[in-house]
């Protein structure tokens, strides 16, 4: 499936409605990047509703990469004993947008 | 040519407005909007955005329902004691836990919740239980087996805690009567971070971490655990809601700690994947443990890079909806 990307801040209730979700899948990524299906009028209308800023795939990937790098740096700065905890035990890994 | 009356023995109603309580399968013509309508039921569930948590956090405790949820404890950059209450639209501050902790178990309702065990700095795992009355937390009976990241089910006065990490990973099951914990039947498989649903005498444990992540489901009858149908997506630190014969699994983490969006429904025998998942993929999240398979809440968690404040509301399949019939 082909996708499009935008950046929008989730304000909470009403940002994505059940009506939206019943028509298309919205998937969130770090940096307030949202992935929606391409060639979907409903998805395009949703981006307008949330005042999303369209991004190319490369632009969206760059935003995600920056957030992952920040998370990796934060993880690297953790004391060793915290890195051994059973939850969140691994260094954040790269996310590749489809 | 076949007619609607000939096929179904009923006439299509001609109405100025939609009926207030249409029955599934009912067909009518809305003369005001000049459209033919039918009442049907949804065949899949959907997640919609709810109000964001005031404090983004992961490995938190959760309780309550979609319209009366409760989030407590967890990890921001430090362990937190904060409690927040959800009213169906937004979160407001509740009374703080007596002890700030993460990796805790949670069950019950917004006004009668239970916080179970967890991880406290600098001392480590805790056996402490706290009870919430809608305003403040008070001490309850201590767990017999001190641990964190266990599963939980039931109510404040009839709860179940199972699995977790001591170390090592635990099979221990304990039953709470509102005052003290007593040992129940051990799980078949030791695991940390399973999700829970149901009651003390009819509970469900699913997913968790077993090296690697697990898809195993076990069912408790008040005495012992038996195997149930496997999750389609193996995962740990997922959310759960519902009862033993109608449960919901959502989110979780992969072996690589990547957030998942997958949502599955259990019918007492097997899990079925919903076509769509959480809009924000995540694990170590909170869930409405008193919710149902058709009405649940997911909040907080870890996306794979950062803690999140995002809340999502689940409406399951089988919900009535009015559709416009398009004939050309």
Query: Which whole number is the average pLDDT over B61-81?
Result: 95
What is the CB-side half-sphere exposure of residue B149 using CA atoms within 13 A?
A: 30
Task: Tell if the CB–CB gap between B149 and A30 is shorter than 8 Å.
Answer: no
Distance CA B18, CA B15 (A): 7
Residues of A with Cβ-Cβ distance to B302 under 8 angstroms? 88
Picking from B90, B304, B313, the nearest residue to A95 by CB comes out as B304
Picking from B52, B148, B315, the nearest residue to A10 by CB comes out as B52
Task: Tell if the CB–CB gap between B306 and A67 is shorter than 8 Å.
Answer: yes
- Report the residue of chain B nearest A64, measured CA to CA: B305
Residue B289 near residue B240 (C-beta atoms within 8 A): yes
Q: How distant is the Cα of B15 from the closest Cα of chain A, in angstroms?
A: 25
Mean pLDDT value across chain A:
89
Picking from B49, B304, B313, the nearest residue to A92 by CB comes out as B304
Classify the C-alpha dihedral B227-B231-B232-B237 as positive or negative.
Answer: negative
Task: Indicate if the pLDDT at residue A87 is higher than 70.
Answer: no
Tens of pLDDT, residues B148-173: 999 999 999 999 999 999 988 899 99
Tens of pLDDT, residues A24-70: 999 989 899 999 999 999 999 999 999 999 999 999 999 999 998 98
Mean pLDDT value across chain B:
93
Tens of pLDDT, residues B101-152: 999 999 999 999 999 999 998 888 999 999 999 999 999 999 999 999 999 9
Kind of pairing between the strands at B271-273 and B263-266? antiparallel
- Report the residue of chain A nearest B284, measured CA to CA: A87
Picking from A18, A30, A87, the nearest residue to B59 by CB comes out as A87
Tens of pLDDT, residues B240-269: 999 999 999 999 998 888 899 999 999 999
- Report the residue of chain B nearest A26, measured CA to CA: B279
Domains with residue ranges and CATH for chain B: 4-41 (no CATH), 46-315 (2.120.10.80)
Q: DSSP letters along B38-89, please?
A: EEEE-SS-EEEE-PPPSS--BS-EEEE-SSSEEEE--BSSSB---EEEE-SS
Q: Say whether residue A70 is in contact with chain B using an 8 A CB cutoff.
A: yes
Task: Tell if the CB–CB gap between B48 and A21 is shorter than 8 Å.
Answer: yes
The predicted structure's pLDDT at residue B305: 84
Distance CA B191, CA B205 (A): 10
Q: How distant is the Cα of A20 from the closest Cα of chain B, in angstroms?
A: 8
Q: How distant is the Cα of A82 from the closest Cα of chain B, in angstroms?
A: 11
Residues of B with Cβ-Cβ distance to A89 under 8 angstroms? 257
Distance CA B210, CA B313 (A): 29
Q: Starting from the edge strand earliest in sequence, which strands make up the sheet with B61-64, in order?
A: B61-64, B69-72, B83-86, B91-93
The predicted structure's pLDDT at residue B43: 84
The predicted structure's pLDDT at residue A58: 97
Q: How distant is the Cα of A56 from the closest Cα of chain B, in angstroms?
A: 20
Task: Tell if the CB–CB gap between B103 and A87 is shorter than 8 Å.
Answer: yes
- Report the residue of chain A nearest B44, measured CA to CA: A22
Residues contacting B47, CB < 8 A, separation 6+: A16, A18, A21, B250, B263, B276, B277, B278, B279, B298, B312, B313, B314
Task: Indicate if the pLDDT at residue B181 is higher than 90.
Answer: yes
Residues of A with Cβ-Cβ distance to B50 under 8 angstroms? 12-13
Residues of B with Cβ-Cβ distance to A35 under 8 angstroms? none
Task: Tell if the CB–CB gap between B281 and A27 is shorter than 8 Å.
Answer: yes
pTM: 0.88
Kind of pairing between the strands at B105-109 and B195-199? unpaired
Task: Tell if the CB–CB gap between B310 and A86 is shorter than 8 Å.
Answer: no
Q: Say whether residue A89 is in contact with chain B using an 8 A CB cutoff.
A: yes
Q: Which helix (H) or strand (E) holds A41?
A: helix A41-49
Higher per-residue pLDDT: A82 or A69: A69
Picking from A16, A67, A88, the nearest residue to B48 by CB comes out as A16
**Bridge-partner residues for B125, per DSSP?**
B119
Chain B residues within 8 Å of chain A (Cβ atoms): 42, 44, 46-52, 58-59, 89-90, 103, 119, 148-149, 165, 192-193, 209, 237, 256-258, 261, 276-277, 279-281, 284, 302-306, 310-313, 315
Choose from A18, A61, A87 for mutation: most chain B CBs within 10 A. A87
Distance CA B106, CA B114 (A): 6
Query: Which whole number is the average pLDDT over A70-86?
Result: 77
């Amino acid at each position: 499936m082909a996708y499009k990307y935008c950046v929008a801040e989730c304000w909470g209730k009403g940002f994505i409605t059940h009506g939206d979700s019943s028509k298309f899948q919205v998937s969130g990524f770090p940096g307030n990047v949202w992935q929606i299906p391409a060639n979907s009028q409903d998805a395009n209308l949703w981006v307008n509703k949330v005042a999303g800023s369209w991004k190319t795939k490369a632009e969206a990937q760059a935003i995600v990469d920056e957030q992952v790098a920040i998370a990796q740096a934060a993880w690297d700065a953790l004391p060793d004993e915290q890195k051994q905890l059973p939850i969140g035990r691994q260094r954040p890994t790269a996310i590749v947008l489809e | 040519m076949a007619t609607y009356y000939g096929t179904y023995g009923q006439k299509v109603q001609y109405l100025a407005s939609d009926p207030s309580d249409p029955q599934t399968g009912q067909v009518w013509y809305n003369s005001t909007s000049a459209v033919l309508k039918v009442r049907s039921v949804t065949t899949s569930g959907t997640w919609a955005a709810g109000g964001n948590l005031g404090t983004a956090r992961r490995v938190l405790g959760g309780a309550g329902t979609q319209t009366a949820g409760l989030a407590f404890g967890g990890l921001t950059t430090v362990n937190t004691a904060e409690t927040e209450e959800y009213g169906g639209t937004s979160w407001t501050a509740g009374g703080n836990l007596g002890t700030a902790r993460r990796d805790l178990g949670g069950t019950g309702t917004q006004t009668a919740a239970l916080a179970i065990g967890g991880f406290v700095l600098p001392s480590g795992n805790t056996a402490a239980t706290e009870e919430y009355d809608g305003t403040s937390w008070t001490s309850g009976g201590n767990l017999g087996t001190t641990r964190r990241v266990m599963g939980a089910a039931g109510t404040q006065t009839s709860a179940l805690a199972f699995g977790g990490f001591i170390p090592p990973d635990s099979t221990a099951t304990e039953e709470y009567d509102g005052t003290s914990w007593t040992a129940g039947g051990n799980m078949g498989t030791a695991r940390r971070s399973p999700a829970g649903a149901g009651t003390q005498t009819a509970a469900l444990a699913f997913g968790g971490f077993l090296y690697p992540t697990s898809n195993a489901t076990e069912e408790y009858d008040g005495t012992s655990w038996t195997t149930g149908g496997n999750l389609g997506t193996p995962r740990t630190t997922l959310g759960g809601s519902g009862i033993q014969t109608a449960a919901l699994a959502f989110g979780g983490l992969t072996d690589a700690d990547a957030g998942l969006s997958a949502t599955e429904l259990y019918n007492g025998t097997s899990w079925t994947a919903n076509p769509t998942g959480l809009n924000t993929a995540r694990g170590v999240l909170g869930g409405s443990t008193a919710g149902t398979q058709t009405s649940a809440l997911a909040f907080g968690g870890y996306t794979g890079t950062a803690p999140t404040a995002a809340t999502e509301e689940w409406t399951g399949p089988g919900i009535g909806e009015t559709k416009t019939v398009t004939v050309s």
